[in-house]
């Protein structure tokens, strides 16, 4: 006979309870993200008929009142702590040095660290205590030290002493915008954008399990697109035949690959489209590049090179090729690519070291502490006007042996012109 007074919950039962709890959290986060994405401000603000909507953005007077409220001794301590954090963040940034080398004849290659254009840091909707104050101001200081121009912070209502101190802390740390909507709703607002809150390029949740779950959801969605695609930026000086060859070569990665041409010249765009049609006809109907281009290929014509940069950053591809009169101009202005190829001699088919490099995706379940590197894009680039014919021919043979016919043809095309 079992004595039920001494029944102990097994590890399996405990795991089941944890799974149910995790599922409930995930369901709540998913529903909140979806509501803000679809309804915008209506999902953030409780609207009352006949009354004006509550303003989410704290203005300068409201922020100054929060700072003035902080006792002088506490304010002095806060500034001392932040100054120490700034010195450490500055040392971190200095350690992440850019470099460039002339490794091959006629080729310059390097690594550049570029600050993210805008970031959002979201804190819990209710004051949770603990390390949130330290984490919030440290995150803002790291972002500012990295060179981020817009640092938006979402937090709960400053209706308590602790929340008022938090507003003062992030303002003194350098936040450019502070919104009184925290938790997953604030995270979603920064991630997707609403009528009142402009979306940020990258959003970080700090302080509780709900925000961490929201960040995992976003990271999981982003991880699925890493490395799938190329964007080529071209102007009047670009060769449409080379553009077509490189777009088709990129499509050999598989049917889900996105191949994009962004041209500032309608004539070059039209000639590239004709070249793509012609070159695809010479490939086998079963070739993977055929299906990829038909499904995911696209050509855009934009007004100028600034518009080209904005559109390329919107696609956020792993690779960008630049075929323009001044390709190096784009090095400082493309913020969301991993590899950058500058000049007609630096196509992906001719960059054997970059092409073959494996790409690691961090495990989504592990969220790292914020530091200066969290707010930087690291871009590897190569600038080449023309590739040596012998190297182009060798790479063509190498690609053909690997079954990459379109890559081989792109190399042979350049070898014939160099």
d(C-alpha 170, C-alpha 168), whole Å: 6
CA dihedral (281, 287, 288, 289) in degrees, to 10, reads: -30
| 128's tokens | 């949770």
| 282's tokens | 């010479």
Model's pTM, two decimal places? 0.77
pLDDT for residue 7: 41
Q: List the domains of the chain with CATH numbers.
A: 60-96+117-223 (3.40.50.1980), 229-350+386-417 (3.40.50.1980)
pLDDT for residue 297: 92
pLDDT for residue 4: 40
pLDDT for residue 352: 47
pLDDT for residue 129: 59
Mean pLDDT of each 10-residue bin along the chain, 418 residues long: 43 48 82 92 70 76 95 94 94 94 80 92 76 87 96 85 89 96 93 94 87 82 61 95 92 81 96 94 75 89 95 87 94 84 78 42 52 90 79 84 86 77
Sole residue written with tokens 């010249």: 265
Q: Which of 337, 256, 242 is nearest to 293 (CA)?
A: 256
């Amino acid at each position: 006979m079992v004595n039920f007074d001494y029944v102990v919950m097994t590890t399996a039962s405990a795991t089941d309870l944890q799974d149910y709890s995790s599922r409930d959290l995930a369901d709540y986060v998913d529903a909140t993200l979806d509501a803000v994405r679809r309804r915008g401000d209506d999902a953030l603000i409780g609207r009352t008929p006949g009354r004006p909507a509550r303003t989410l953005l704290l203005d300068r007077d409201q922020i100054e009142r929060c700072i003035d409220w902080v006792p002088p001794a506490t304010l002095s301590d806060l500034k001392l702590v932040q100054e120490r954090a700034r010195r450490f963040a500055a040392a971190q940034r200095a350690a992440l040095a850019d470099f460039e080398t002339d490794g091959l004849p006629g080729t310059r290659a390097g690594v550049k660290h570029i600050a993210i254009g805008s970031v959002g840091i979201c804190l819990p909707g209710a004051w949770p205590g603990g390390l949130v104050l330290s984490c919030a101001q440290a995150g803002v200081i790291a972002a500012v030290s990295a060179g981020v121009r817009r640092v938006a912070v979402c937090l709960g209502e400053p209706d308590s002493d602790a929340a008022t101190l938090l507003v003062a802390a992030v303002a003194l740390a350098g936040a450019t915008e502070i919104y009184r909507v925290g938790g997953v709703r604030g995270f979603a607002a920064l991630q997707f954008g609403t009528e009142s809150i402009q979306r940020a390029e990258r959003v970080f949740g700090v302080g509780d399990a709900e925000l961490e779950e929201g960040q995992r959801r976003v990271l999981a969605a982003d991880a699925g697109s890493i490395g799938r695609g190329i964007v080529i930026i071209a102007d009047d000086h670009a060769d449409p035949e080379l553009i077509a060859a490189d777009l088709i070569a990129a499509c050999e990665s598989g049917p889900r690959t996105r191949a994009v041409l962004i041209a500032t010249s309608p004539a070059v765009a039209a000639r590239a489209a004709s070249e793509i049609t012609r070159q695809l006809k010479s490939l086998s109907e079963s070739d993977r590049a055929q299906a990829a281009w038909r499904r995911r290929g696209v050509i855009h014509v934009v007004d100028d090179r600034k518009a080209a940069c904005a559109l390329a950053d919107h696609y956020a591809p792993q690779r960008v090729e630049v075929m323009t009169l001044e390709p190096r101009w784009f090095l400082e202005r493309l913020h969301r690519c991993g590899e950058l190829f500058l000049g007609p001699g630096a196509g992906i088919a001719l960059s054997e070291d970059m092409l073959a490099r494996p790409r690691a995706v961090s495990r989504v379940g592990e969220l790292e502490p914020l530091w200066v590197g969290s707010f930087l894009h690291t871009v590897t680039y190569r600038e080449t006007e023309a590739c040596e014919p012998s190297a182009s021919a060798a790479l063509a043979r190498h690609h053909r042996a690997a079954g990459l016919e379109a890559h081989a043809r792109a190399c042979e095309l350049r070898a014939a012109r160099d």
